[in-house]
C-alpha cells in the first residue's frame, strides 16, 4: 500500500432513515456527500464510496455474530483501517459525541506481532462498523498471526 493511488471500494448498504444516516456519517464520522436522491446518498468514507439506500425498517437485514476474543462480533459489518493516531482521534470523537460502542475500543495481541486496536459501533439503521488500526500495517495480511 505504498502507492497513494489504489482502487477504492464501493459498498451499497440499507438504511431506514437517510437524514439520520447523513447526521451520523457526516456529522460524527466527518464524511462528505456526493450525489444523492430522495432514496439514496453517496458518502465519501475515507476515500471509498458508500451508498446508503433507503429501505423500510422491516426490510433491513438481521445480523448474526461470531465469537472473537470473547466478543460477539457482527458477521455483517464494514469499516476502515486507520493509522494508530487516526484511530485514537476517532475514538475521542465518538466518546465526545456519546456514540455507544457495540464493542468497546481495545487492543488485540498487545505488544505482540499483529498488535491492533479495534472497536465496533452501529449507525442509526443498525449497520455495524468496525474501526481498527495496526501498530505495524505490514501485519495486515500476515498469515502467521494468532486468530483469537
Residues 99 and 126 reside in one and the same domain: yes
Please tell me the predicted confidence (pLDDT) of residue 112: 86
Residues 74 and 140 reside in one and the same domain: yes
Please tell me the predicted confidence (pLDDT) of residue 29: 96
Residue 30 placed within a domain = yes
Strand order across the 48-54 sheet:
10-15, 48-54, 40-45, 32-36
Residues 89 and 118 reside in one and the same domain: yes
Q: Which domain holds residue 89?
A: 65-148
Residue 43 placed within a domain = yes
Q: Which residue has the higher pLDDT, 41 or 70?
A: 41
Please tell me the predicted confidence (pLDDT) of residue 147: 67
The arithmetic mean of pLDDT across residues 129-148, rounded, is 86
Write out pLDDT tens, residues 81-109: 999 999 999 999 999 999 999 999 999 99
Cα–Cα distance, 69 to 148 (Å, whole number): 6
The arithmetic mean of pLDDT across residues 55-70, rounded, is 89
Amino acid at each position: 500500500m505504498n502507492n497513494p493511488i489504489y482502487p477504492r471500494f464501493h459498498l451499497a448498504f440499507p438504511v431506514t432513515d437517510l437524514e439520520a444516516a447523513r447526521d451520523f456519517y457526516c456529522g460524527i464520522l466527518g464524511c462528505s456527500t456526493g450525489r444523492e436522491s430522495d432514496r439514496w446518498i453517496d458518502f465519501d468514507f475515507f476515500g471509498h464510496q458508500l451508498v446508503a439506500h433507503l429501505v423500510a425498517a422491516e426490510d433491513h437485514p438481521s445480523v448474526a455474530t461470531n465469537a472473537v476474543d470473547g466478543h460477539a462480533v457482527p458477521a455483517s459489518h464494514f469499516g476502515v483501517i486507520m493509522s494508530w493516531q487516526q484511530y485514537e482521534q476517532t475514538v475521542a470523537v465518538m466518546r465526545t459525541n456519546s456514540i455507544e460502542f457495540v464493542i468497546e475500543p481495545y487492543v488485540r495481541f498487545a505488544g505482540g506481532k499483529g498488535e491492533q486496536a479495534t472497536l465496533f459501533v452501529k449507525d442509526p439503521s443498525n449497520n455495524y462498523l468496525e474501526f481498527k488500526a495496526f501498530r505495524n500495517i505490514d501485519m495486515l495480511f500476515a498469515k502467521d498471526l494468532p486468530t483469537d
